[in-house]
């Protein structure tokens, strides 16, 4: 494999590199030593244009020889003194301020923040004698079996801000592995990310947050920490086998909840193909943690009318006095699915599940940090292009719409974020064919 020059596929005349580079420059302030600010911007631009985290694919969007550019990218990511966290934080705050608080979903003057984790399975090293650093064990999902299958890989904790249209904007991320350098406990890592993301939202919008999470965050110590230490409201799914106290009664939540009076029926998962009609009940409960600390919560029970579906339970600190309050709680939890959609977009549209880095743990973390910033820049770029904030972005969106109609027979209304990313990268080589829009 010798060196070869960058290949350009100028089939559309879009000339998006300048606009992407300008958007990246406006979001990433200077602050890194040496010339690392310039290199970081080039890395983020390359990820946007190549839709890939493979260094060779990123190098193909840059001038000069691909092998030389690839080696330079690898050397940059492996710098010992390189600290990208301040640049990442500044990028997120800049993007949030430009989107404005009008785009943020709010309830009672508070924003909704969703936390969840994703995984990167890295079972093979493609003949490399040296394996990828710090690999732990991750669960393989979407398999036609109920057995738990673990393979080598990495986990990542994300906190996202819920927007008015049901989509989410990623705020913070943390790479984690039981064999990582500074990740002794995943519980500590989760609490640190919650605090970090909440601080960013408070600093930017002067609003507090409501945390939304699935049953993976149901541990009683976390519920106590959120309410009594951090003072955060939350809506978190819990298991029916939880021991609780409700009034004068003590027992398992699923046993007590079956006797609670049903207040009204409600259809939820409105945007899903499998809409569930459930009877909603709610009551104040008290939970005792493993350290013998007591925490008072409200529990919401959703019992599907279909007897073959198990009831679902939500723990919350939000008020449950009226039916309107309960509808907000249930719908807020149902919008948690937005973070799952983000994971799919992040991995598929940017190729974030196919990276290979063998140098060090820090290089992996920095590459994923750059991908995070690239995603936020593209979200902001699409937002401004839709609004026509500048003449150049307005002309770019008009050209994209024309390409959708003429080349792909798609109506203008089909301009999704995934298609916008692919149109941005049409003039550059990428992991997907340009026609797959």
User: CA-CA distances (angstroms) from residue 18 to 121, 375, 393, 413, 416?
Assistant: 35, 17, 11, 26, 22
Q: Please tell me the predicted confidence (pLDDT) of residue 13.
A: 52
Residue 146 counted as domain residue: no
**241 and 293 together in one domain:** yes
Angle at 364 between CA 118 and CA 420, to 5 degrees: 65
Task: Collect all residues with Cβ–Cβ distance below 8 Å to 37 and sequence separation of at least 6.
Answer: 28, 30, 31, 87
Coil, strand or helix at 140? coil
Coil, strand or helix at 139? strand
**373 and 320 together in one domain:** no
Question: Over the stretch 110-167, which tens digit does the pLDDT of each residue have?
Answer: 999 999 999 998 876 665 667 788 888 888 776 667 777 888 889 999 999 999 999 9
**251 and 323 together in one domain:** yes
Residue 219 counted as domain residue: no
Structure tokens at 74: 């690898």
- Structural domain boundaries enclosing 408: 16-82+359-424
Residue 196 counted as domain residue: no
Question: Over the stretch 264-279, which tens digit does the pLDDT of each residue have?
Answer: 898 876 555 577 788 9
Residue 341 counted as domain residue: no
Which pLDDT band, with edges at 50, 70 and 90, does 171 fall under? Answer: very high
Structure tokens at 128: 């490399």
Cα separation of 128 and 329, whole Å? 50
Which pLDDT band, with edges at 50, 70 and 90, does 183 fall under? Answer: low
Domain stop point among 330, 351, 379? 330
**268 and 316 together in one domain:** yes
Residue 88 counted as domain residue: no
Domain stop point among 330, 348, 369? 330
Which pLDDT band, with edges at 50, 70 and 90, does 399 fall under? Answer: confident
Domain stop point among 330, 347, 369? 330
Residue 395 counted as domain residue: yes
Query: Which of the residue ranges 97-111, 126-140, 205-219, 316-330 would you say has the lowest mean pLDDT?
Result: 126-140
Residue 150 counted as domain residue: no
Give buried/exposed letters for 163-197 (b at 16+ CB in 10 A, else e): beeebbbbbbbbbbbeebeebeebeebbbebbbbb
Phi, psi of 222 (to 5 degrees): -70, -40
In this prediction, residues 354-361 reach a mean pLDDT of 87
User: Could you give the percent of the chain with pLDDT greater than 90?
Assistant: 54
The total of structural domains in the chain comes to 2
**244 and 326 together in one domain:** yes
Which pLDDT band, with edges at 50, 70 and 90, does 173 fall under? Answer: very high
Between 35 and 208, the higher pLDDT residue: 208
**320 and 393 together in one domain:** no
Residue 217 counted as domain residue: no
**263 and 309 together in one domain:** yes
* Statement: residue 10 has pLDDT above 50: no
Cα separation of 435 and 426, whole Å? 9
Query: Which of the residue ranges 170-179, 363-372, 390-399 would you say has the lowest mean pLDDT?
Result: 390-399
Q: Please tell me the predicted confidence (pLDDT) of residue 269.
A: 65
């Amino acid at each position: 494999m010798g060196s070869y020059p960058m290949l350009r596929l100028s089939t559309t005349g879009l000339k998006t590199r300048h606009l992407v580079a300008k958007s990246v420059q406006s979001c990433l302030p200077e602050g890194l030593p040496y010339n690392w600010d310039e290199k970081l911007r080039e890395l983020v631009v390359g990820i946007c244009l190549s839709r890939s985290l493979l260094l060779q694919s990123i190098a193909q969007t840059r001038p000069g020889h691909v092998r030389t550019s690839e080696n330079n990218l690898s050397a940059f990511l492996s710098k010992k003194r390189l600290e990208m966290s301040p640049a990442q934080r500044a990028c997120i705050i800049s993007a949030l301020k430009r989107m404005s608080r009008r785009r943020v979903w709010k309830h009672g003057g508070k924003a909704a923040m969703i936390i969840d984790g994703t995984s990167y399975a890295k079972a093979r090293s493609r003949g490399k004698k040296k394996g990828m650093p710090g690999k732990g064990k991750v669960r393989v999902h979407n398999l036609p079996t109920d057995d738990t299958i673990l393979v080598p890989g990495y986990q990542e904790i994300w906190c996202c801000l819920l927007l008015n249209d049901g989509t989410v904007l990623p705020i913070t991320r943390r790479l984690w592995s039981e064999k990582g350098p500074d990740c002794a406990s995943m519980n500590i890592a989760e609490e640190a990310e919650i605090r970090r993301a909440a601080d960013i939202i408070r600093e930017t919008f002067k609003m507090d947050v409501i945390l939304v999470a699935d049953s993976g965050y149901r541990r009683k110590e976390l519920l106590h920490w959120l309410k009594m230490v951090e003072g955060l409201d939350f809506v978190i799914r819990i298991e029916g086998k939880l021991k609780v106290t409700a009034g004068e009664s003590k027992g398992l939540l699923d046993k007590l909840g079956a006797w609670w009076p049903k207040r009204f029926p409600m259809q939820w998962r409105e945007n899903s193909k499998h809409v569930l009609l459930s009877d909603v009940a709610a009551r104040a409960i008290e939970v005792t943690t493993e350290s013998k600390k007591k925490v008072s919560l409200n529990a919401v029970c959703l019992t599907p009318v279909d007897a073959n579906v198990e009831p679902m339970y939500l723990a919350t600190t939000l008020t449950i006095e009226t039916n309107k309050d309960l509808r907000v709680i249930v719908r807020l939890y149902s919008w948690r699915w937005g973070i799952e959609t983000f994971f799919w977009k992040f991995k598929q549209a940017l190729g974030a599940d196919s990276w290979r880095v063998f140098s060090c743990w820090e290089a992996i973390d920095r590459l994923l940090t750059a991908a995070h910033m690239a995603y936020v820049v593209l979200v902001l770029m699409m937002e401004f292009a839709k609004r026509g904030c500048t003449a150049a972005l307005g002309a770019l969106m008009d050209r994209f719409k024309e390409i959708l109609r003429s080349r792909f027979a798609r109506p203008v209304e089909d301009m999704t974020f995934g298609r916008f990313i692919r149109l941005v990268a049409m003039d550059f080589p990428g992991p997907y064919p340009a026609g797959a829009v």
